[in-house]
Amino acid sequence: MSDPTVRVKIERYDPEKKERYLQTYEVPRGSKARVLDFLNYIFEEMDPSLAYRRHLCKARMCNACQMMVNGKPRMVCWEVVSPEQDEIILSPLKGKTVFKDLVVDFGGQELEEPEESSPP
């Protein structure tokens, strides 16, 4: 039996064309638990052109990984993908200037603490 997959839909932005578009990836679930694990897999195994903040604290301390996950602001280093979940929709954090794909300009502003989500 093959490994089940999670459909990851990412709102991307091409700064050269000034164009937004949605790209979908079918990612094997494997042992991935957090949204960041899925992003890392996409970047390392499927599409190295994907832009997102990769070098993060992974401890819910720096807030640099905030983005919209299924329409809600979340820290992807901490946000768990439940075993029942078969789709994730990712987009840049609302209200921020997008540099490329999921990378936004935090502009030295204090980041708001996103709603509480369950740790893995």
Q: What is the pLDDT along the chain (120 residues), one digit of tens a residue?
A: 467 999 999 999 999 999 999 999 999 998 888 999 999 999 999 999 999 998 667 676 777 889 999 999 999 998 999 999 999 999 999 999 999 999 999 885 544 545 555 444
| CA 49 – CA 69 distance, rounded (Å) | 20
Whole-angstrom distance, CA of residue 39 vs CA of residue 45: 10
Q: Which runs of E-coded beta strand occur in the chain? A: 5-14, 19-28, 66-69, 72-75, 87-91, 98-100, 103-104
Q: Which residues pair with 22 in a beta bridge?
A: 11
Residue 99 tokens read as: 């540099």
Q: Which strand ranges, in their side-by-side order, compose the sheet holding 72-75?
A: 19-28, 5-14, 87-91, 66-69, 72-75
Tell me the fold of 5-104. Ubiquitin-like (UB roll) (3.10.20)
- How much is the pTM? 0.85
Cβ of 80: how many Cβ atoms within 10 Å?
15
